[in-house]
């Protein structure tokens, strides 16, 4: 195996020159203006930036929910064909887990059943109870969403996202709707999944404090990466405050 092969294996996701222009009538919005970003195996990256800086647009493209106007995306060295819906669907289904600000659980299904919806169609799923255990909800398997707190519902959403054992976990403002104490529990769940399963994780936030838990922080402004730094040591989510 050559050094180049090894490097390629260590990079899970690679974005090159991504741009995104939204056109609404006469109006053009340049949401991304040339993003180069690699996510390494097992890394926890925090994508930081103010509202409107393009973070969600980037996350959606990295996860195959949207396509760039220009630029290329590689998953484990293979290019994802931007306009081939089937390839993107297969990539999303087999390799990507999403967590959004709002949990999108099905109210009439229990925590376990919400997770099972995904494990039933996944290639190598874990048991829903095991996934819920990983986020600290082993005592809540048969609760309905209405019987769970916001933070617990978000942890069910994380369990649902990771139960198919995705290569990449993409989290868009996962603590945006939560108070800080509850938010930290949710971040601990993400941290634990990243450490125990080695899932490459990208977490979007506008909250600078959350950057402390990352291996690397990538800071955005106006559709561009303006700064990147590595933390010499990751702070445990439990030690964060805001
Ligand atoms: N579907 C769309 N159609 C038109 N413009 C869009 C669309 N989605 C996003 N935009 C615009 O693109 C820019 C980047 O939006 P994006 O949601 O990626 O930013 P963000 O950094 O995630 O913001 P927030 O933190 O508020 O979610 C914004 O100016 C937004 O208005």
- Side-chain-facing half-sphere of 130: CA atoms under 13 Å: 10
Helix/strand/coil for 77: coil
Q: Do residues 194 and 215 make contact, with C-beta atoms less than 8 angstroms apart?
A: no
pLDDT for res 83: 60
Looking at residue 122, its pLDDT comes to: 86
The number of CA neighbours under 13 Å toward the Cβ of 164 is 24
Rg (CA), the chain: 18
Residue 117 alpha carbon to ligand 1 centre in Å: 30
Residue 176 CB–ligand 1 contact under 6 Å: no
Please state, in angstroms and rounded to a whole number, the distance separating the CA atoms of residues 195 and 162.
Answer: 13
* 242 CB within 6 A, ligand 1: no
Whether the CB of 55 sits within 6 Å of ligand 1: yes
Total-model pTM: 0.93
Q: How many angstroms separate the CA atoms of 65 and 44, rounded? A: 21
Quick check: CB of 57 below 6 Å from ligand 1? Answer: yes
The string of DSSP codes covering 158-204 is HHHHHTT--SEEEEESTTTTS-HHHHHHHHHHHHHHHHHH--EEEEE
Its CATH architecture, for the domain 3-239, is: 3-Layer(aba) Sandwich (3.40)
pLDDT tens, residue order, the chain (242 aa): 444 555 555 899 999 999 999 999 999 999 999 999 999 999 999 999 999 999 999 999 999 999 999 999 999 999 987 667 888 899 999 999 999 999 999 999 999 999 999 999 888 899 999 999 999 999 999 999 999 999 999 999 999 999 999 999 999 999 998 999 999 999 999 999 999 999 999 999 999 999 999 999 999 999 999 999 999 999 999 999 88
Domain ranges of the chain: 3-239
The response to whether residue 112 sits with its C-beta less than 6 Å from ligand 1 reads: no
pLDDT in the model for residue 85 = 81
**Tokens of residue 10, six digits:** 């260590």
User: How much distance in Å is there from the Cα of 52 to the middle of ligand 1?
Assistant: 5
Runs of H (alpha helix) within 98-162 = 111-119, 128-134, 150-162
Identify which of 217, 224, 177 has the alpha carbon closest to the alpha carbon of residue 48.
217
What pLDDT is recorded for position 205?
Answer: 96
Q: Residue 1's pLDDT is what? A: 46
Full DSSP string of 11-76:
EEEEEEEEEEEEEETTEEEEEEEEEEEEEETT-EEEEE--TTSSHHHHHHHHTTSS--SEEEEEET
229 Cβ inside 6 Å of ligand 1: no
């Amino acid at each position: 195996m050559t050094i180049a092969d090894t490097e390629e294996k260590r990079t899970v996701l690679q974005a090159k020159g991504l741009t995104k222009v939204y056109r609404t009538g006469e109006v053009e919005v340049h949401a991304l203006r040339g993003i180069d970003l690699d996510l390494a195996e097992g890394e926890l990256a925090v994508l930081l930036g103010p509202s409107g800086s393009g973070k969600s647009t980037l996350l959606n493209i990295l996860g195959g929910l949207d396509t760039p106007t220009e630029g290329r995306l590689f998953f484990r060295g293979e290019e994802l064909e931007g306009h081939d819906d089937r390839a993107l669907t297969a990539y999303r289904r087999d390799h990507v887990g999403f967590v959004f600000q709002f949990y999108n659980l099905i109210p009439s299904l229990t925590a376990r059943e919400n997770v099972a919806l995904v494990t039933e169609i996944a290639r190598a799923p874990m048991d829903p109870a095991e996934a819920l255990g990983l986020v600290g909800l082993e005592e809540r398997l048969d609760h309905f969403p209405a019987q769970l707190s916001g933070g617990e519902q978000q942890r069910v959403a994380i369990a649902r996202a990771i139960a198919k054992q995705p290569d990449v976990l993409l989290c868009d403002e996962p603590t945006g709707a939560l108070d800080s104490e509850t938010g930290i529990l949710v971040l601990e769940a993400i941290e634990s999944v990243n450490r125990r399963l080695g899932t490459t994780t990208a977490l979007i936030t506008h909250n600078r404090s959350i950057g402390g838990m990352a291996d690397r922080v990538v800071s955005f402004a106006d559709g561009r990466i303006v700064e990147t730094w590595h933390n010499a040591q990751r702070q445990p989510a439990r030690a964060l405050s805001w």
